[in-house]
Amino acid sequence: MSLRLSTVILPYRRWHEGGRTAWQRAEELGFRTAYTYDHLSWRSFRDGPWFGAIPTLTAAAGVTEQMRLGTLVTSPNFRHPVTLAKELISLDDISGGRITLGIGAGGNGFDATVLGQEAWTPRERADRFGEFLPLLDRLLTEGAVTERGLYYAAEEARNIPGCVQQPRLPFAVAATGPRGMRLAARYGEAWVTTGDPKLYETGTPEQSLEAMRGQVGKLDKACAELGRDAAELNKILLTGFTPDRNRPLESVDAFVDFAGRHRDLGFTEIVIHWPIPDSDFTADQAVFERIAAEALKQLD
């Protein structure tokens, strides 16, 4: 599988004040997929504008034609499988079958407590995700679903006519632990990682590469246990959270070196953040666009 380049566009701008333009420009630049975060707020953006993922992707579907669109990532923190499935089927229809659902167990950010609940422990998040994802899979592939689990239930949930993409839109499952890896191997058309978060502050790029080599190995093992060829899964790296931070976006050569090293680990898709001035994702827009236009040609 050849290396693909995608971007993630954070929903912090009003649609008519730069939001729409970014999605259209992403398609012009030839990105494979443009994703957005599915959060209610996020870190340093918490006290500023932030818009919803599903409406943003719906609007993006209306102003693009070929580029795939998706979340990176959705989680159970404030979603329910029944309502999410209905929105995804609608979005897949509106986009003409261009949606990928990036999905994971979630974390301890603002979304974890915004509905008034106590933040779940890592074990509780894994337990909920282990029930959420199989139910969502059923909701997107079956016309009517009734199921009662420990955390989630559906009663005669109807999802006709289903997804444009059959048997359903693809899942890109974010995972690093053994339970998540098994879910990725079972339900994923793709697997997502940001690297090892423990290395972000004090690790080195070399340590990060070795950690991700281990993650890829765990995914291979999980696939083998299910009798699945791990090569079937698209392996996605969401950049910006490794010890390199945004240094790969400083020049085309820097990005080519970074992407090549991760391609050699087995990654098939690199996702870079659309530049945001005065943020963790600051980058030169002209260099970013040169990377989009030129980098993959150097990796062929």
pLDDT at 239: 98
Q: Are 68 and 33 in contact (CB under 8 A)?
A: yes
Sign of the Cα pseudo-torsion (237, 92, 37, 278, in order): positive
Residue with tokens 């422990």: 121
pLDDT at 1: 67
- CATH class belonging to 4-298: alpha beta
On the CB side of 238, CA atoms within 13 Å amount to 26
Question: Measured in Å, how far apart are the chain's first and last C-alpha atoms?
Answer: 11
Could you report the per-residue pLDDT of 177-217, keeping only the tens digit for each? 999 999 999 999 999 999 999 999 999 999 999 999 999 99
* Run of H or E including 25: helix 19-28
As given in the structure block, the two tokens for residue 138 are 């059923």
Specify burial of residue 247 (Cβ count, 10 A radius: 0-12, 13-18, 19+).
middle
For the full predicted model, state whether its pTM sits above 0.95: yes
Could you report the per-residue pLDDT of 202-255, keeping only the tens digit for each? 999 999 999 999 999 999 999 999 999 999 999 999 999 999 999 999 999 999
Distance CA 239, CA 277 (A): 17
